[in-house]
Amino acid sequence: MGYTIDIDTGGTFTDGFFVSGDRVESVKVPTSPHDLTICFLECIGAGAKRFGVAVEDLLYETDIIRFSNTIGTNTIIQRDGSRLGLLVTAGQEGLAPTHRGNGKSPLVDPEMVVEIEEETSLSGEVLKAPGEKSVMASAQILIDRGARCLVVALAHSDANPQNERVVRGTIKNEYPRDFLGSVPVFLSSDISSRSGKEERINAAVLNAYIHSKLVSMLYKAGENLRQRMYGKNLFIVHNNHAVARVAKTRAINTYNSGPAAGLMGARQTGLAYGADHIISADMGGTSFDLGYVHQGQVSYTLKPDVEGFRANVPMVEIKAMGAGGGSIASVSEGVLRVGPQSAGALPGPVCFDLGGTELTVTDADLMLGIFDPDYFLGGAMKLNMEKARGLMAEKIGEPLGLSVEEAAFSVKETIDEFMGRELEKIRDKLAGDPEPLLVVYGGAGPAHCCHAAGFAGIKKIVITPFSAVFSAYASSGMDVGHIYYARTDIPFHEKSDFSGLPEALISLKKEAERDIRGEGFSVEDMKLSLELLVERQGDGTEVKFSTPLDFHQSPEGIALAVSQARKLLGQNGAGGEEAIRVNMVSLAAQAEVPHFDVKEVPLASEDAAVAQKGARPVFLDREKGMQEIPVYDRALLTHGHRLSGPALVESEQTTVLVAAGWRMTVDKINNAVLEEVTEP
């Protein structure tokens, strides 16, 4: 039986999830920030070693590889993307992302923005076409100033992209693709057909900014695979809960793809418990990522904030904060601060002994006894306790007048309270009955979840056996797919005319059929679903509404779907009586590929004591100081096992801290369910 491979690169570790029949193996390797193709191959090598086969044999027998990565995110954060030239409509120069924020350089240097004379009306009528000479003169200015690619973002091209296409055609006539001096030209209308001048400029710029680095690394990864006997496509995880091959991937669709996959996995996990109100919490080495599911639908934003730039490319909404295992702890003016800066993979926490000199949350967890220095990542990485203790005493303990353990506990308290406050905000947003279920994952999450959840008043947590590699595990349930949008701008009232929508959907279906064939599937493999983007007039509230109706919609069927969307808007606090407008329709097309299916495990024949591997002293309370608590082997815990906190549950990739006042039960699908014990 063939293999499936899912890989997710994070800021500190790269996670792999490998499946062959009923056998599952997961691995973690350090991320190589300078070249993600290195850790990508190292992850595959680690997986092959687990199965006891050569890399070439593993890849030859692999049915699909899905890859989520941080290339785009890191490029924006580090400001090391392509040097862009931006062409905008005369009078629109001030909308370009040329400002400096947080001391970072702009996405586009001010001298790299040039205006051109052209005009398209709000309704899409071309009032003035761009002149060939002026276009080439403007493009040449930008090329001479060092532009590696050009972005064309003209006003109202969302209503009619004709002028943008004229500009691209003019430039390509001068610099055809087969010339070495050919310059890539990106159009805002190809990235988004949604309204919003500044948001559309930002979306086009962001896409172009990360494009070349993404192309270089992904094609290199694909070539490396081919050289090692993998003969199929490499599929890239998108931030819209689908995957696509590199040739069918736009760069901006990869932004935050790993956390987006994690949220979809949290939703799937919650379904097993009948939960339609879910909070996902991913605490990795670099960040703390939060998402939620409300009434069965994942948190989604139609105008995401991409590292401080508002764009209008709809995507799964994830709130990312600088609170991970690698978050740096320091004392400034007598105050302890933790994060948002991270030590990352290199040099990493002090205890990694890779040259790091900044103390982190991981160092604190080690000193508190939560981590075993000889069993981190199953013993694959030995932690340097003494080096971390020395710096903790010097940099945190002495300035605050605390012992090493008290200083480390203060670091943990600070990060737990911060995460708890953020969880509380989402819990309040989802206020209702029943209480939301918290799905926790990430390498560091299980060690901090009880205290953070307790702060937020959340009483039930689920941790899967694959929590340390959860985004990779979650992508194993993703299908190949694409989403297509069409502008509608139809007001909804008794006399609304939806007669034109079925025709628009048929046009989108033709695009979907073309792309699905390009992915290597037949049209018969394609599944379609309809989504409406509906706006409430007056306050601008906009929602994405998925309907169970297929694309063969009569006008009456679409009107029914819009009525359902009206109710959804009403439930969001509007009362549902205001006029609403159907701004866009979208068609989601998917083709099924091999998935990992969770299976039930047999009921335990003995109690949890059989899984206890020992005990060790842990500092979890200032009054009690060090106290010895039991340590359990997660691999030996199974369906029906129950234990009470305080206790530690270790696996090869993560450690669960079951806090005092909490109980952990392993259920029939081998998930750890943590519940706060209610006092009688």
Q: What is the pLDDT of residues 3-21, one digit of tens each?
A: 999 999 988 889 999 999 9
DSSP H or E stretch at residue 450: helix 445-456
Give tens-digit pLDDT for 470-481. 999 999 999 999
User: What pLDDT is attached to residue 301?
Assistant: 84
Amino acid letter, 600: E
CA distances 326 to 28, 343, 443, 653, Å, are 16, 5, 11, 16
Question: Is the pLDDT score of 489 beyond 50?
Answer: yes
Q: Where are the domains of the chain?
A: 3-76+215-254, 81-207, 481-591, 608-676
Give tens-digit pLDDT for 41-52. 999 999 999 999
3-state percent helix, strand, coil for the chain, nearest multiple of 5: 35, 30, 35
CATH 3.40.50.300 fits 3-76+215-254, yes or no: no
Find, among 504, 524, 530, the residue nearest to 588 by Cα: 530
User: What pLDDT is attached to residue 654?
Assistant: 92
Local confidence band at 184 (pLDDT 50, 70, 90 cut-offs) = very high
* Residue at token pair 């109710």: 567
Question: Is the pLDDT score of 186 beyond 50?
Answer: yes
User: What pLDDT is attached to residue 560?
Assistant: 65
CA distances 216 to 37, 210, 437, 593, 641, Å, are 10, 10, 40, 26, 49
> What phi, psi does 121 have (nearest 5°)?
-75, 165
pTM: predicted TM-score of the whole model, two decimal places:
0.88
Gyration radius from the chain CA atoms: 26
CA distances 225 to 65, 230, 512, 516, Å, are 10, 5, 28, 23
- Give me the sign of the Cα torsion angle 220, 223, 227, 229: positive
Minimum mean pLDDT range among 214-218, 429-433, 549-553, 596-600: 549-553
Minimum mean pLDDT range among 73-82, 330-339, 403-412: 73-82
Amino acid letter, 607: D
Local confidence band at 486 (pLDDT 50, 70, 90 cut-offs) = confident
Local confidence band at 557 (pLDDT 50, 70, 90 cut-offs) = low
Across the range 484-507, mean pLDDT stands at: 74
Question: Is the pLDDT score of 398 beyond 70?
Answer: yes
As beta bridge partners, residue 485 has: 586
User: What pLDDT is attached to residue 114?
Assistant: 97
Question: Is the pLDDT score of 540 beyond 70?
Answer: no
Amino acid letter, 481: G
Dist CA 426 CA 436 (whole Å): 9
Find, among 8, 22, 98, 531, the residue nearest to 286 by Cα: 8
> What phi, psi does 221 have (nearest 5°)?
-60, -45
Which tops the pLDDT comparison, 603 or 322?
603
User: What pLDDT is attached to residue 575?
Assistant: 40
Dist CA 674 CA 656 (whole Å): 10
> What phi, psi does 656 have (nearest 5°)?
-95, 125
- Note the helical H segments in 5-152: 36-51, 55-60, 71-78, 132-144
Q: Which CATH architecture has domain 481-591?
A: 2-Layer Sandwich (3.30)
Local confidence band at 430 (pLDDT 50, 70, 90 cut-offs) = confident
Contact 455, 417 (CB under 8 A): yes
Strands (E), 161-270: 185-187, 234-237, 243-245
Give tens-digit pLDDT for 572-583. 444 444 567 778
- Give me the sign of the Cα torsion angle 547, 282, 440, 413: negative
Q: What is the b/e burial string over 66-92, where b = at least 16 CB atoms within 10 angstroms of the residue's CB?
A: bbbbbbbbbbbeeeebbebbbbbbeeb
Contact 212, 325 (CB under 8 A): no
Dist CA 460 CA 427 (whole Å): 12
Q: What is the mean pLDDT of the chain?
A: 89
